Structure 1
Amino acid sequence: MNSPAAATPPTPDWSQTDLGDPAGWHPSLRLTTDIMLNSPQAMLLMWGPEQIMVYNQAYADLVALPGLRAPGGKVPSMQPGAWSWNSNALAEARAGRSVAYHGCRLPLWRNNRVEPQALDLYYTPVRTEHGVHGILCTLAPAAMLPQAEQNAPLRLLVVEDNADARYLVCETLRALGHEVQAVASGEEALPLLSIQEFDVLFTDVSLPGMSGVDLARHALQRAPQLALLFASGYGDELTRHLEFPAQSLQKPYDIEQLQAVLERVAAQLRAR
């Protein structure tokens, strides 16, 4: 009995993409694209200085964003989470090194909203005779960790005087699986720090009345184990030379940056 013939995927119309006619492609791009489009594993390719994104159907199914259609071949208006979550990953690949990151929580579209999913990410440089010209990212569901190694939700006290910003960051943190309480000033935060236990104080630097830095100093007197995370429109200029360890985010920040810094905080807390 003859075996059924394998289905051949339709050939994309590359002329409608930013990559143009395949006749002008570099052999490395042609080979990588052929491998990617015929792989059942989710794959995403960044090509050239323009950062053209090419991906297969498995990646489109994994990310599940409305309107995302393989094979892509366009310069995106917003960087995919596989690129924006960690600039070091891209720096390593651009330097010609293959790197892997395990258990990364990237925001994916699920149940009509963005939800974090644990993924293992593998970055491979794609070379031409002029050096690294592309980066291929392979995405796989993260292997289950033993219960003791799984990330527990962080308990955060958010201090932000702007009501809209406070609401947005709290909803984002809850969507990422963390426990959150929020107040508008340092004066409101101090009593809570005395009666409740938190893992992280996440405070704006510029607050009315007591500044975020002064609040952090008082908070450490009450809870020396507290992790400190600052948000500031001035980058780390106001927090660079503190006498205590802290993380900082520059406003405006995105969900991938927030998630990455919280993962670093969680790792530091587990190491204590």
Structure 2
Amino acid sequence: MPDHDPRSAHHPRSSVSYDWSGSSLGEPAGWPAPLRVAADLLLNSPLPGLLVWGRETILVFNEAYAALAGLGCGRVPGGSVPSVLPPPLSSAGSALQQAWAGQPGLVAGAALGFRHADGLREHRCDLHLTPLPDGGGGVGGVHFLLAPPAPQPVQAEPEPDNASLRILVVEDNLDSQYLVCEMLKAFGHEADGVAHPDDALKLLGERRYQVLFSDVSLPGMSGVDLARRALTDNPALKVIFASGYGDSLLRHLEFPYLSLQKPYELDQLQDALAKVARQPAQAR
């Protein structure tokens, strides 16, 4: 069953609209000015609310709260000491203690359970607590407003650094080639492996790869020369080199690349893929 919408049956009210003679508060004419003002604001609010006055916990609540609270609520507009704390008070926790000390408080996303004839109903809201002065420099009560939960800002999901890539692995050691391809597939990438630069050029002409992951030392052609030829046809191709002989062959290259020193760790390969995916495409 949907929660009651207090706006649909709201009529202007104030403290003088009710007979308080039988309540613990007595007639409004004898109330402290802060209580009278707060009660008028509360009773004329379309949102569910209640106020607690005095340490003996005298309650005042509006019609919207009465409709929401159901069987757990006394006669409108209150003015009685409850035998059981209402759900807003029992859910306020430390925020209520802070309000009694003079500090406004907020309990975001409070789940309040109210008992009705058809069973327990849950109402989720933000509890706003406001201290009420007693007219003598202290805190005489606390006002509770049950507001709709504030919408949470929608945060864009960050794009993973290693989003799925189409990778060509060029490695003449077949065991290493197989292992690298399997690791890349385990990371969620597409990977093809070849042992010879000629086979690599053939695949590069047939398919659109995003990353060339090549050993520097290859039969017939270096990985550097292979990358140059590949970039001529596909300037957007990203390049990662693997070398067991240091970076001496990779100095002063005219295109961006990353390199891994053999043997490399699994996380080094993942990091290289994340970095190379962020590199801007090479202009023609």
| Structure showing greater Rg | 2
TM-score bracket, shorter-length normalisation = 0.3 to 0.5
Tell me the TM-score normalised to structure 2 length.
0.46
